Chains A and B, each alone.
Chain A
């Protein structure tokens, strides 16, 4: 019986360790990506990294992006555009990056990002822009 408990403990420890590593990696990649530049635009926009093998992109992320309305969304194939994907440290799909009009990465979302989350980030990006203009 003890081998069963040990097996549960080992599997649990591996899962917890993997979750911690994922959180650390995500934070590190997010910090590294902020400040990276891309093509400028007139309004904040979204870089959307996807790929043919990404199911969540089709079932969850694309419907969420469609709910954002008229926001500019630059769809990027992470495999075909490896250089750009590496610049944003894309290690999972989908990845969405909220960009300032000047081409600065403001928020990087690794994995599925909900429509309300993206709307909030876009609103913050627009707010920061208005503040900068009135200051």
Chain B
């Protein structure tokens, strides 16, 4: 349970990316249906980023572009990356389920994608990370090693 340093600006950029992508997919697909493909793509991005952090698209955009150019300032905080990775993975799983429903039952698919965006926004704006709380609760019950 060692505490490391987590750059919270990278997390914020990641959450902003999630909210923006879902909103673009939602609004854009109302006019141009193929825009819905952004949702399964976002699911892939989130799941890849969870298991292979160097492939986390939004975080890499922050580390390679935004941070070096001083567009976003780093905010290192003593923290553990695992709960945030878990939350990201959970978002990815929800988006996979959303993607499966997008064509047969679009209401469920879109609603699930919107919920992921709402939770990312709540984390971005208020610092409340539901995925981190679930991680904590699972750890408390001994279901994962938290």
Residues of A within 8 A of B (CB): 1, 3-4, 6-8, 10-11, 14-15, 51-56, 58-60, 78-79, 82, 85, 91-93, 111-112
A91, B137: Cβ atoms closer than 8 Å:
yes
Q: Which residues of A contact B3 (CB under 8 A)?
A: 52
The answer, among A4, A51, A58, A85, for a CB contact under 8 Å with B77, is A58
- Annotate B124-139 by CB proximity to A: 1 below 8 A, 0 otherwise: 0001110011011101
B106, A7: Cβ atoms closer than 8 Å:
yes
Q: Does B1 contact A (CB under 8 A)?
A: yes
Q: Which residues of B contact A8 (CB under 8 A)?
A: 111, 114
Interface SS, B side: helix
Name A85's closest neighbour in chain B (CB-CB): B140
In order of increasing CB-CB distance, the 10 nearest A-B pairs are A7-B110, A11-B114, A10-B111, A53-B83, A7-B111, A3-B106, A6-B107, A11-B111, A52-B1, A3-B107
The answer, among B110, B115, B136, for a CB contact under 8 Å with A53, is B136
A4, B26: Cβ atoms closer than 8 Å:
yes
Name A57's closest neighbour in chain B (CB-CB): B79
Q: Do A4 and B1 form a contact, CB below 8 Å, given A11-B118, A79-B139?
A: no
Q: Does B78 contact A (CB under 8 A)?
A: yes
B26, A55: Cβ atoms closer than 8 Å:
no
Shortest CB distance A78–B (Å): 7
Q: Which residues of A contact B65 (CB under 8 A)?
A: none
B139, A53: Cβ atoms closer than 8 Å:
yes
Q: Does B67 contact A (CB under 8 A)?
A: no
A92, B111: Cβ atoms closer than 8 Å:
no
The docked-state distance in angstroms from the alpha carbon of A95 to that of B104 is 43
Q: Does B30 contact A (CB under 8 A)?
A: yes
Shortest CB distance B111–A (Å): 4
The docked-state distance in angstroms from the alpha carbon of A58 to that of B108 is 37
Q: Which residues of B contact A58 (CB under 8 A)?
A: 77-79
B129, A82: Cβ atoms closer than 8 Å:
no
Q: Do A55 and B132 form a contact, CB below 8 Å, given A60-B127, A91-B137?
A: yes
A92, B133: Cβ atoms closer than 8 Å:
yes
Q: Which residues of A contact B106 (CB under 8 A)?
A: 3, 7
